[in-house]
Amino acid sequence: MFATAVIVFREVLEAAIVVGLVLAASQGLRRRGLWIGSGIAVGLGGSVVVAAFAGGIAAAAQGMGQELFNASVLFAAVGMLAWHNIWMARHGAALAKNINAVGRDVVAGLRPQYLLASVVGLAVLREGSEVVLFLYGIAIAQQDQASALWAGALLGFAVGAGSGYLLYLGLLRFAARYLFSVTGWLIALLAAGMAAQAAGFLVQADLLPPLRDPLWDTSGLLSQQSVLGNLLSVLVGYLDRPAGIQVFFYGITLTTILVLSHIYRPMRKRPTRTVSKFAGVANSE
C-alpha cells in the first residue's frame, strides 16, 4: 500500500506544486478559480487521452515519440511561465498595490489569464498520464490486495495535493508587495528546472549531445529520491546527476527570464539604485 502511495505521491507532487504556485501567483486575479479549475480539468481529461494513446505516442518518431512529447509539453510550459513573469515584471507592482482594492479588476483584466490556466493544464497532463497508466496497471492486475493498493493511491494523491496546498498557504503569508517577487523567483526557477528536464528527454531521444553525463554526481550528498531532494527537484529543478546540457538549458532559461523581466520592467521617473532586478515585481514604493 505504501509503495503505491509513494509512486502516486511523486507524480502528484509535481503537478500540485505547480498548481499551488500558480494559485499564489494569481492572487488578485478575477475568476482565477474558474481559470485554474478549467486548467486542472482539461489536464485530467488530457492525461486519460495521453495514457490511452501511449502506445501510439511511443511508436512515433522512430520510437522516440514519448521523449519528444514530454519535451514539447515541458518547453510549452517553460514558454508560458517565462511570458507570465515578463508580464508581471511590467504590471506586477500595480497589481500588488491594488490587490485588495476595487481597482485590481482593471489591472487584472489586462492579464493573460489563460497562460496560467494552460501551465496548470500541461503540468497535470504530464504527471497525470503516468498516474493513469499506473492505476490502469493496478486495475487490470486484479490482485487480492487491490483495495489496499487503491487506498495507497488515494493516500499518495491526498498527501501530494496537500503539499501543493501547503505551498500555497505558505506563500500567502508573504505581504502583498513581496508576494509577486517571491512567486516570480519561484516561477523562474521552476521554468529553468522544466527546461533542464526537457533537455534530458532530448538527450534520451539522441537529439541533443549530453555534454558530459553526468556533469556532477551529488546523489551521495543529497539524493533526488530523498524527500528533500525530491521536493527541491520539483521546486527549483535540483538534479543529482545532471548532464552538462541540462545545466546549460537551466542557466539559459533562468538568465533569459531574468534579463527580459528586467528589460520590460516599468519605467521610473527617477532612477534608483535599489530597484530589484528580480523576475516578478519591482519595488512598489
Interface residues toward other proteins, by CB under 8 A: 3, 7, 54-55, 58-64, 66-69, 71-73, 75-76, 79-80, 122, 130, 133-134, 136-138, 140-141, 200, 202-207, 213-214, 219, 224-225, 240-241, 243
How far apart, in whole angstroms, are the C-alpha atoms of residue 110 and residue 112? 7
Classify residue 211 by its DSSP letter: S
Judged by CB, which is closer to other proteins: 121, or 184? Answer: 121
Count CB atoms within 10 A of the CB of residue 68: 16
Give me the least distance between CB of 41 and other proteins, in Å please.
17
Give me the least distance between CB of 221 and other proteins, in Å please.
14
Judged by CB, which is closer to other proteins: 25, or 73? Answer: 73
How far apart, in whole angstroms, are the C-alpha atoms of residue 27 and residue 202? 35
Judged by CB, which is closer to other proteins: 149, or 187? Answer: 149
How far apart, in whole angstroms, are the C-alpha atoms of residue 211 and residue 203? 10
CB 228 within 8 A of CB 238: no
- List all residues 6 or more positions away from 165 whose beta carbon is below 8 Å from its beta carbon: 16, 20
Give me the least distance between CB of 154 and other proteins, in Å please.
17
Judged by CB, which is closer to other proteins: 189, or 202? Answer: 202
Name the E strands within 83-189: none
Classify residue 267 by its DSSP letter: P
CB 69 within 8 A of CB 151: no
Give me the least distance between CB of 93 and other proteins, in Å please.
28
How far apart, in whole angstroms, are the C-alpha atoms of residue 193 and residue 190? 5
For residue 44, with 0-12 CB atoms within 10 Å meaning exposed, 13-18 middle and 19 or more buried, which class applies?
middle
Question: Which of left, alpha, beta for 213 (phi over 0: left; psi -120 to 50: alpha)?
Answer: beta
Give me the least distance between CB of 246 and other proteins, in Å please.
9
Judged by CB, which is closer to other proteins: 145, or 283? Answer: 145
Judged by CB, which is closer to other proteins: 187, or 245? Answer: 245
Give me the least distance between CB of 273 and other proteins, in Å please.
39
How far apart, in whole angstroms, are the C-alpha atoms of residue 149 and residue 225? 21
Give me the least distance between CB of 99 and other proteins, in Å please.
30
Judged by CB, which is closer to other proteins: 10, or 262? Answer: 10
